[in-house]
Structure 1
Amino acid sequence: MLVVRTDPKRGSTQRGRGLVDFASRRLLACAAAFGVAGPVASATFQVLSERADRRRFPPPGRIVEVNGRRVHVWTEGEGSPTVVIVPGMSSPGIHWVHVQRALVPDHHVVLYDRAGVGWSQAAPWWEWRSPSRIADELHDTLTTAGEGGPFLFVGHSLGGEVVRLYANRHPDQVAGMVLVDAPSENNDWLVEEFGWWRYGPVRWWKDVARRLLTPRGLVRLRTRSGVDTSLHDKARRKVPPDLVETEMFTALTSGMRRADVMERVVLSTEVLRRERRHFGGMPLVVISASASPSSDSYACNPCWDATVSEFARRRAQVWARIQADLASLSYSSKLIVAERAGHNVQWDEPELIVDAVTDMCAALAADQE
């Protein structure tokens, strides 16, 4: 006779392990399902919501087709020279409404959106979005839009690079330039002072990774539900009250993230070094941010260094040299330090930019008399 003996404790242990294994498999399955369903749901929500928002927030300007791509161009006011504002990295023209409204109707002001920004069609991921390409696209955009110049360019940050390259290639079209906290080919001085981790590729690639890994639909959901109010708070600072909701629409588009990533990936001042030239007597105003510890300068992010004040002081010294070098590119130049402004002078002290443009236009008109 076969006798089978069982161990109650062992059987119980085996059953317990079986339950744990089963639960683990279910959890893994749920996690895997969520890992697939989550991004799909986020992407679907983003596409549908953005489509609805585009109907709700039509472009304030007009759409022109430039080299097979839709570009938003917004013109207001009358006068000469034509004031063309070139915003900074992945920044739409609407961010300059404070300056635009202060200049119109006495000046003819052109705002535009680069590829993927605002209401302009996004560029494909594989396109090299270098400052050089952007400068050539700006020339094509102005030509297609019927703007023949002469132009007084206002270039902020990356836009300052674009403006200089435009002036290098089309000097006969440029009456003057206002560079607002713009970089130069000497930005390497910052790398020499702080190292590659702070001011080299590492910094930019960290920003790129963070933007790529954040689901756009999730950001939109958190914003629209009121869980995250940061975008709304920023919008209130960037634009007048009547355009806050519109600005939030531009901030949440998929094209905006693509433009932000693509412009960061190819960020380089090497082309400025190759094409550096002196502009002779062309009117040039260089407006530099103060970069004080309390300012909104990208250089004073406290997560980079516990000793923010010391970091800001050293950075301000190097930045002052860079801005002075920019001012040396013309015999008729002026360097202004925005004492109460961070990097985005157009929000902190827009009157400095307005006054610079107004004074330059008046001087140009007097020279023609």
Structure 2
Amino acid sequence: MAKSKNKLWLILFSAFIILCFLIGVFAENSAKKQALIDFPPVGKMIDIGGRSIHLDCRGEGNPIVVFESGLDTSGSLSWSLVHDEIAKFTRACAYDRAGMMWSDERSTSEELLGKAIAEDLNKTMTIAGEKPPYVLVGHSFGGPYITIFTKYFGSSVAGLVFVDTSHPDQVSIFKEFEEPLMNRISYVFMDFFEPMWAYAGLTRYFAKLNDGRLNNQSLKDEQVIDAYSPSSGLALTQESKAYEQTLNEAGSFRDFGNRPVFVIGAIANYEKMSDDELSEYGMSRKQLSSLIEKDLFTHKEQASWSTRSELKILYKADHYVQFEQPEIVINSVLSIVQKVRLKGT
């Protein structure tokens, strides 16, 4: 009798979980449709062959500045504080990689994701009629992406700006600062369940609970990013899984010739962090000098990839320089634009 009751409760509980999941799926589908109504694409949707990429170009002039976001879900909105300012001087284009924000997801996973992302961007710009030369601006993991683009479509690239970007060798360089095991397990856990959470509406729910707005980022931008967080989260998971593969692909190309390059390196205010905060990143206070030294090395090494490079190190700075100190990014980009123009005269 007791076993029968237990089975009944198990069946009822399972039915309840399935019902909740189906309700979540229905609510998520409705929320996705509402997101397009509340927050339609800012730029144009460019059909690159069965799927569309969102491209937001503003201003006029050459070279065209092309912004590449980092490994997050902000997409083209990563550049909200600098986009219009650059567009006052030349044409400036921000876009969303496949699956991010307004862009359609990929139907299949390519063997080399970094190369596929470069091909998407090249197709998007070509079909949209945005002709080179380009000045590529990458933030964080956008650095490897613009490096890979230059590897395959170098004739279109006249200059580059790296905004506190990832280094191709950073996994080995920073191996002594390994994150705690529980952090790594949690990342695997989250990646595994991300698709289920996205389809059931949990990703959207948690995004609203979490105040992830950056300093100087507008409330509206945060609302838009949250509205598209389920699809963007799935794309982010795909890119994260290809993390080391993408770094290796970028690391195979480290010669920008005489293209003008500007490297902005942000050294975090580690001293201000508590011991608990440091331990979350696998660091101890005794290791800070070594960490800063390695940070500096990565930025200096990136600057060595061009015979015409400039390096600016920001101490006690935030990783999102384009929000914390947008004027530095603006001036750096315009400096490269001016050098490209002078070379063309």
TM range (shorter): 0.7 to 0.9
User: Does 2:317 match 1:356?
Assistant: no
Asked whether the 8 Å contact 1:346–1:353 carries over to 2, the reply is: yes
Q: Which has the higher contact order (CA 8 A, sep 6+)?
A: 2
Partner of 1:34: 16
- TM-score normalised over the length of structure 1: 0.81
Deviation at 1:319, TM superposition (A): 2.4
- Which residue of 305, 321, 342 corresponds with 1:366? 342
Asked whether the 8 Å contact 2:32–2:228 carries over to 1, the reply is: no
Q: Which amino acid aligns with 1:284?
A: V
Asked whether the 8 Å contact 1:288–1:337 carries over to 2, the reply is: yes
Distance 1:277 1:244 in 2: 35
Deviation at 1:195, TM superposition (A): 4.9
Asked whether the 8 Å contact 1:289–1:343 carries over to 2, the reply is: yes
DSSP-derived class of the 1:79 partner: coil
Partner of 2:138: 155
Q: How does 1:57-76 map onto structure 2 within 5 Å?
A: 57-76=39-58
Partner of 2:314: 338
User: Does 2:270 match 1:270?
Assistant: no
Partner of 1:172: 155
- TM-score normalised over the length of structure 2: 0.86
Q: Deviations over 1:285-338 (max 9, x none)?
A: 111121333789xxx765344x55445543332222122111110111111123
Q: Which amino acid aligns with 1:168?
A: K
Q: How does 1:187-336 map onto structure 2 within 5 Å?
A: 187-195=170-178, 205=188, 208-209=191-192, 211-212=194-195, 214=197, 217-221=201-205, 228=209, 230=210, 233-235=211-213, 237=215, 239-251=217-229, 254-267=230-243, 268=245, 269-274=247-252, 276-293=253-270, 302-305=279-282, 309-310=285-286, 312-336=288-312
Q: Which amino acid aligns with 2:295?
A: W
Identify unmatched segments of 5+ residues in structure 2. none
Question: How many pairs were matched up?
Answer: 337
Deviation at 1:166, TM superposition (A): 1.7
Identify unmatched segments of 5+ residues in structure 1. 1-17
Distance 1:194 1:185 in 2: 16
Deviation at 1:78, TM superposition (A): 1.4
Distance 1:206 1:283 in 2: 42
Asked whether the 8 Å contact 2:262–2:310 carries over to 1, the reply is: yes
Q: Deviations over 1:5-43 (max 9, x none)?
A: xxxxxxxxxxxxx5x656544432332123322222222
Partner of 2:166: 183
Distance 2:167 2:214 in 1: 30
Distance 1:202 1:325 in 2: 32
Distance 1:360 1:61 in 2: 25
Deviation at 1:356, TM superposition (A): 0.1
Give identity over the alignment, percent.
23
